[in-house]
Amino acid sequence: MFRSFRYPALFLLTTLSFLGLLLLMFTPLLTKNRFSIPFVSTLTSTTFINHKNSNYTLPPPEVSLDGFLTSSMERRSRRDVNGTKDKTSLERIEEGLAEARASILDAIRFENYTSEKEETFIPRGSIYKNPYAFHQSHIEMMKRFKMWSYKEGEHPLLHLCPMNRINGIEGQFIDEIEREESPFRATHPDEAHIFFLPFSVANIVHYVYRPINRKEDYHRDHLQRIAMDYIGVVAHKYPYWNRSNGADHFMASCHDWGPQISLGQSELLKNFIRVLCNANTSEGFEPKRDVSLPEVLVPSEKLGRPNFGQAPHNRRILAFFAGGVHGLIRPILLHHWKDKDNEVQVHETLPEGMNYTALMGQSKFCLCPSGFEVASPRVVEAIYAGCVPVIISDHYTLPFSDVLNWSQFSIQITVAKIPEIKTILQEIPDEEYQKMQRRVLKVQRHFVLNRPAKPFDVIHMVLHSVWLRRIDFKIGST
């Protein structure tokens, strides 16, 4: 074995070849992003992420199940399933996502689905943009999707939120995805496709901002600092935020202030997924990245099935609304219609003896104007009552728009057309109204709140929206 020393040129060539082999073997390890983030204590701190070293290999996802995957993504989904042995956990995750993309493509092509178990519900009909893509995507989500909710932090600002009333959907969602029995719960963060940041905007506002005595007390810096500090903690402790620039991380909030977590941090949080009730595109909501969370007025008592209301032929009221006058749109609505028409019943306060839920169940169309913010629980209330929603809002991204075709079971009216509401609704043929009303009944299952959550209910639909955003980009392993 020592004869090569007699030939210096041969020895030099052998040594250089061996060093070259070592370099090829270890270069990925040397270049892999392990940028460490210091604990953040101020909002004026320097940038968290070295974006040049990030492993996030695609721009923020463009999410649509109607024409779901581009040709380049199709090629990638086919190519990525053919890997090699000794994969990292991230490589295994990405391989599984590639298989999911390929299955969804097949469902679109062949207008069918593939499942390892019997499906108890098969989405079909015009309420879906592409029922085959949606169904297969939901199957893949149930089969594969795993989340990790960071354990750091204590009550009441983290891992806890109101479970009923106007912010109840936020608390119900957080509680559901953190419960031990959740089928989406990862047993180790290396198994997770997505990471949840469990801070509660509603509780931060309640415990940090009360009492509010001065205008300065409304400043959002406390809220932003808590969120940024928490991101700093988990990014310093774990590698997951840094490897994707936060693209596989998300938060959930139904409080009006939810979107303002990102103010002043647009570069740091540009890939971060926000699940928000206040899905206002004029205030920074990005439909291709963020998720619209339905605003559900969760009852204090036991959850129950929606009120289906009256049959179409028993609905004597053309349109109905009752609610406070706030925001920019409601004053216009009440100015034109308050207590002025028996067919278009608009009230600021219901007369004594009249029942709000019963009136929705007796109405063909339920008016759903924005209030202080774009979202309103009346959209879901209308669906529960079997009443066709009439959405009067600017810049609102409707929930589950990736898969639901809202034009098939709702009416959207611009603010400028508020004086013409009665004419617009009267011109809809009765046959078309009845079709829309039947579609409202079909779509109800996607807005029902169950605990524990069930396939295709509102919590699963929210998770599916997050899942869509995760399967539409790839995190590189080097």
From first to last of its 478 residues, the chain has per-residue pLDDT tens of: 433 334 444 444 455 454 454 443 333 333 333 322 222 222 223 233 344 444 544 433 444 565 444 444 454 454 555 554 678 999 999 999 999 999 999 999 999 999 999 999 999 999 999 999 999 999 999 999 999 999 999 899 899 888 888 889 999 999 999 999 999 999 999 999 999 999 999 999 888 887 777 766 667 888 899 999 999 999 999 999 999 999 999 999 999 999 988 877 777 888 999 999 999 999 999 999 999 999 999 987 777 667 778 999 999 999 999 999 999 999 999 999 999 999 999 999 998 889 999 999 999 999 999 999 999 999 999 999 999 999 999 999 999 999 999 999 999 999 999 999 999 999 999 999 999 999 999 999 999 999 999 999 999 999 999 999 999 999 985 4
pLDDT for residue 220: 82
Tell me, what's the pLDDT at 431?
Answer: 97
What does the alpha-carbon distance between residue 31 and residue 333 come to, in Å, rounded to a whole number?
59
The answer to whether the beta carbons of residues 380 and 294 sit under 8 Å apart is yes
Q: Residue 209: its pLDDT value, please? A: 83
Q: What pLDDT score does 85 carry?
A: 60
Strand 249-253, strand 273-276: pairing: parallel
CA torsion 461→465→466→471, rounded to 10°? Answer: 120
d(CA 193, CA 21): 33
Q: Which amino acid is at 61?
A: P
**281 exposed, middle or buried (CB, 10 Å; 0-12, 13-18, 19+)?**
middle
DSSP 103: H
Per-residue pLDDT at 125: 97
pLDDT of amino acid 44:
28
